[in-house]
Amino acid sequence: MRCPRCNNDSSHSEIQCSTCNFELRQLHDLFGRKTVQLERVTDSAHCLRLRDGRDIEALLEEFERTFPQVFVSLYIGVLPTGLKSAEVAFWFLNTAALGTSDYRRLNEYAIVLVLDPVTKSFAVSVGYGLEQALPQKSLEKIMQSLRTQFWHGEHARAIKGCISQLGKRIRQGAKGVKKEEDIIPPQSAEDFLDDSGLGLVRSQPRRNMRDVEAPSGPEAQPSEGSTE
């Protein structure tokens, strides 16, 4: 392993870096111990165009569908002076609540990508669960292959390539299982309304709709956003 700060090799059981004494507590002292929320794509430096941002988000969604345990977060922003992008990625992995709707996913299976357009550095950090599938050497090779694209300013293309290569590497160390494609239709109107993702504005039309479609069903509960 390499120290996120000084990039020197360290043993597998070190609590601190033997060279620079780096540990997570130093970052806690700097940023605080509060948990932060990190979405799939955060572009606070406005480096990505809208279309590229959507493409990357769609790619990450597909990635999460292919690897149900893994999720990836991308952060693009200007970092404080003296902090490296690898340190921030390390801090995100250990303290952030990553933006996924599936809370069963653990941060041990997370991948965080951090891009600083000012210092022109890009870092990737993975949790403990991915260290076998994505060893240090593989990650370094992937980073080296992206240097030219980043140097030409093709950030979106480089990030897409990075995600694609990460997927290939993980696939080599993972076990393939056939995806269950059986879609069970909703049993009742209530199930349909609950799973449809539709939010009701007023309670009265909802009650009327239920009366028409399912007269024998239970009465609708007023939603939280209702005006009545």
Partner 1 sequence: MNSRINYCRLLGLTAVVGLTPFQPLRVCAASDVEELPLPAWVAEGDTRLAPPLGGALLPEMLPDPAEENANNPFKLFIPRSKLAAPEKPAPVKLEPISSELLSLSENTEPDIFLLDPQRLLSETQTEDLQRLLAYHATGARITAYILLLNKDQTLPANFEVSRLASGALLQKTSCLLVYPLGQPTRARFFMSKEIGQTAPIGQLTALAQDCIRGALQVSDDVEQLQRFATQLSIRLFWLERACKLGDTEQVAPARPSLETNTTAELLPEVTSEPVKNGVWPDYLQKWKRSLIQVLCGLAVFIALLIAGLTAWRWKKKQISRTVWLLPEIPDHPLRFGGPHAGGCGASVDFG
CA distances from 75 to 43, 46, 125, 153 (A): 6, 11, 12, 17
Query: Which CB, 41 or 146, lies closer to partner 1?
Result: 146
Closest approach, Cβ 28 to partner 1, in A, equals 9
The 8-class DSSP code of residue 108 comes to G
Of 110, 163, 166, 193, the residue at the interface with partner 1 (CB under 8 A) is 110
Q: Does residue number 1 form part of the binding site for partner 1 (CB under 8 A)?
A: yes
What are the residue ranges of helices labelled H in 67-130? Answer: 85-95
Asked if 139 touches partner 1 (CB under 8 A), the answer is yes
C-beta of 45 vs 200, nearer to partner 1: 45
Helix axes 50-66, 155-173, angle to 10 degrees: 0
Go through the chain and tell me how many residues it has: 228
Judged by CB under 8 A, the stretch of 30-38, 42-50, 79-87, 201-209 that binds partner 1 is 79-87
User: Would you say 100 and 71 are in contact if contact means Cβ atoms under 8 Å apart?
Assistant: yes
Among 67, 74, 159, 220, indicate the residue that binds partner 1 (CB under 8 A).
67
Alpha helices in 6-115 (DSSP H): 24-31, 50-66, 85-95
Site pattern 149..178 for partner 1 (x: CB under 8 A): -xx------------------xx-xxxxxx
